[in-house]
């Protein structure tokens, strides 16, 4: 479980996170949702240790992550747009990452077959299509069997077959008890994959709970309409 306690982050005078409290459970997919600038990326960066909070803390399985970087070995992260050394081949990128992790085995083999990248290993990254770069990111995020998975807009650029295959993998990983965080602007995708949803707006949480409860609370059958109601309510408050 990931616990977020009174998280505050400012960039100059701009307060991006305004005292966030949340729990992200193991064995579930939790979607972090909100418009651009709501604080989603900042929360993920703090979990990854790429940004330090100004106040508050994050704990994983009861242990605060502040100043401890060992926990990151247990995270698999798929960014929205990955940047790899363009002149390296796919195989060289994978080997480089394994060297960093001190691995001499080939944990990626099954994933390369599943996502149809085995035939791309000798190709330089610069020659890959956008979809194949996305598939490479999927493989890298999963290859070390991490306990925590963070997927940022994961199906962008994937064709329908690979998108469905990715969703099947997410379901499999959830059954293993993994802690999974998903961000996406595709509400139907969140509705399909997520158990819990955290809706952020202006650095605050406006809803946290199950997707089903949100639909019931807002009297809607589609998540997109339920989220739209939150935004309408916020606009009326102002």
What mean pLDDT, rounded, does the chain reach?
91
**For 142-152, how does the pLDDT look when each residue is reduced to its tens digit (9 = 90+)?**
999 999 999 99
Domains and CATH numbers, the chain: 2-76+148-237 (3.40.50.300)
User: What sign does the dihedral 222-227-229-232 (CA atoms) show?
Assistant: negative
- Give the C-alpha separation, 105 to 82, whole Å: 24
- Give the C-alpha separation, 123 to 223, whole Å: 40
* CA within 13 Å, CB half, 42: 26
Report whether pLDDT(238) > 60.
Answer: no
pLDDT for position 210: 94
**For 123-163, how does the pLDDT look when each residue is reduced to its tens digit (9 = 90+)?**
999 999 999 999 999 999 999 999 999 999 999 889 999 99
Query: Do the beta carbons of residue 166 and residue 197 sit within 8 Å?
Result: no
Q: How far is CA 127 from the centre of its chain?
A: 26
Spatial CB neighbours of 114, under 8 Å, sequence gap ≥ 6: 165, 169
SS3 of residue 77 by DSSP: strand
DSSP assignment of 101-113, as one string? TT--S-TTHHHHH
Nearest residue to 225 via CA among 237, 209, 211, 208: 211
SS3 of residue 180 by DSSP: strand
pTM exceeds cut of 0.85: yes
pLDDT for position 78: 95
What share of the chain in percent tops pLDDT 70? 98
């Amino acid at each position: 479980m990931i616990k977020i306690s009174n998280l505050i982050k400012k960039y100059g005078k701009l307060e991006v996170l305004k005292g966030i409290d949340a729990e992200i459970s193991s064995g579930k997919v939790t979607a972090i949702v909100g418009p651009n600038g709501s604080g989603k990326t900042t929360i993920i960066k703090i979990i990854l240790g790429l940004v330090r909070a100004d106040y508050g803390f994050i704990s994983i399985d009861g242990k605060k992550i502040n100043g401890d970087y060992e926990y990151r070995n247990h995270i698999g992260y798929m960014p929205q747009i990955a940047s790899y050394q363009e002149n390296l081949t796919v195989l060289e990128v994978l080997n480089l990452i394994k060297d960093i992790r001190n691995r001499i085995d080939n944990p990626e083999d099954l994933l390369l077959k599943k996502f149809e990248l085995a035939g791309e290993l000798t190709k330089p990254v610069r020659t890959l299509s956008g979809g194949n770069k996305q598939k490479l990111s999927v493989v890298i995020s999963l290859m070390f069997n991490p306990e925590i998975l963070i997927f940022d807009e994961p199906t962008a650029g994937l064709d329908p077959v690979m998108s469905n295959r990715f969703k099947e993998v997410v379901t499999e990983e959830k059954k293993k008890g993994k802690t999974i965080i998903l961000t996406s602007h595709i509400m139907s995708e969140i509705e399909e994959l997520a158990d819990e949803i955290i809706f952020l707006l202006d650095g605050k949480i406006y809803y946290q709970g199950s997707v089903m409860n949100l639909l019931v609370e807002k009297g809607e059958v589609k998540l997109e309409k339920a989220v739209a109601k939150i935004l309408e309510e916020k606009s009326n408050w102002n």
